[in-house]
């Protein structure tokens, strides 16, 4: 375990991201899974029309970014055909951009990312950990903001890779190595956002240790995106007397506790399923840490 005696003593510095406005607070990224099998909302928005309605509702609730994904990344999930992922994602991106939303595409495929960017997406969220050279080349060519998430291989076998001696040090080292590869591919450092990959090749203890030491990732000198929403480690923390983990649908309060704490720590963004309570938590955290009430600027 990491040995810092004061895990979150100071707020993270949040450098600007090239291509995105500075909001003066933590961003709220709404998760929109256009899939039948995602762990939390799988099947809920499987039809593009349903996903578009849900995305519009997220925008109305205060989402700063909508992260559209057409392939589940839950532990054990298999791949979907490229054409199927494309068909799920692109119509939804098109409609949400037309509605005025800032849209991120959650994919590991260059072809899907390219189609989403052509449809107006502003951001690529790469859950492969920068493992796909063709995706890196596309991001470099387009010059768009890019999320580099810590991962150790595909979802199908990520659980077996959750082995660490010092999870904080190893995640930082591995992210630094992937960041070097991202820069070598021609992506501008100012466009990169880093995600520690909570739940990706990590068990509950690893997740909690990383969250307690988010400040250790400051050495990467990039803004942080953190996604804890409804994940299994929250269900295990809240397990009943018989040890049964809290079901996915009953993890929202715990999710928003982590949202507020992450925002108070100064992360660039939080990735959540329920947007309105997260937007509230972000605003409370900002007021708490600055000592002043603050409202969104009017346009």
Domain layout of the chain by residue ranges:
27-289
Q: Which residue has the higher pLDDT, 34 or 293?
A: 34
- Which residues have CB under 8 Å from 134's CB, separation 6+? 110
Q: What angle separates helix 133-142 from helix 110-118, to the nearest 10 degrees? A: 20
Return d(Cα 27, Cα 8) in angstroms, integer: 20
Tell me which of 142, 178, 251, 271 is the catalytic residue: 271
What is the chain's alpha carbon radius of gyration, rounded to the nearest angstrom?
18
Residue 28: is its pLDDT beyond 70? Answer: yes
Q: How many Cα neighbours within 13 Å face the side chain of 70? A: 25
User: The pTM is what?
Assistant: 0.89
Could you read off the pLDDT of 202-245 as tens digits, one per residue? Answer: 999 999 999 999 999 999 999 999 999 999 999 999 999 999 99
Residues 192, 182 contacting (CB under 8 angstroms): yes
Q: Which residue has the higher pLDDT, 80 or 111?
A: 111
**What is the distance, to the nearest Å, from the Cα of residue 117 to the centroid of all Cα atoms in its chain?**
18
pLDDT of residue 71: 83
Least confident range from 2-6, 18-22, 136-140, 233-237: namely 2-6
Is 231 among the residues known to form the active site?
yes
Tell me which of 152, 231, 246, 283 is the catalytic residue: 231
Distinct helix (H) and strand (E) counts, the chain = 9, 8
Given CATH 3.40.50.11390, say whether it is the number of domain 27-289.
no
Residues 231, 199 contacting (CB under 8 angstroms): yes
pLDDT of residue 80: 76
Residue 87: is its pLDDT beyond 60? Answer: yes
Could you read off the pLDDT of 32-74 as tens digits, one per residue? Answer: 988 764 444 444 566 788 889 999 999 999 999 999 998 876 5
């Amino acid at each position: 375990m990491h040995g810092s005696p004061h895990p979150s003593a100071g707020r993270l510095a949040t450098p600007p991201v090239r291509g995105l406005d500075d909001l003066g607070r933590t961003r709220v990224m709404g998760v929109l899974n256009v899939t039948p099998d995602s762990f939390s909302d799988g099947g809920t928005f499987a039809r593009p029309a349903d996903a578009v309605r849900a995305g519009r509702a997220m925008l109305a609730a205060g989402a700063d970014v909508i992260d559209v994904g057409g392939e589940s990344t839950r532990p054990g999930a298999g791949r979907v055909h490229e054409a199927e992922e494309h068909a799920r994602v692109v119509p939804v991106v098109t409609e949400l951009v037309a509605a005025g939303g800032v849209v991120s595409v959650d994919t590991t495929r260059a072809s899907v990312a390219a189609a989403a960017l052509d449809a107006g997406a502003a951001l690529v969220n790469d859950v492969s950990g920068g493992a796909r050279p063709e995706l890196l080349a596309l991001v470099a060519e387009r010059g768009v903001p890019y999320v580099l998430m810590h991962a150790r291989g595909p979802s199908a076998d990520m659980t077996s890779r959750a082995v660490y001696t010092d999870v904080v040090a190893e995640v930082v080292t591995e992210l630094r190595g992937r960041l070097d590869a991202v820069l070598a591919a021609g992506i501008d450092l100012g466009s990169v956002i880093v995600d520690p990959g909570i739940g990706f090749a990590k068990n509950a203890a690893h997740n909690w240790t990383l969250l307690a030491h988010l400040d250790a990732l400051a050495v990467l000198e990039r803004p942080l995106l953190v996604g804890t929403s409804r994940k299994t480690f929250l269900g295990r923390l809240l397990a009943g007397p018989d040890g049964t983990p809290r079901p996915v649908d009953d993890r929202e309060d715990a999710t928003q506790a982590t949202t507020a704490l992450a925002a108070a720590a100064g992360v660039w963004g939080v990735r959540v399923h329920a947007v309105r309570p997260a937007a509230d938590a972000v605003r409370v955290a900002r007021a708490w840490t600055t000592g002043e009430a603050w409202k969104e600027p009017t346009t």
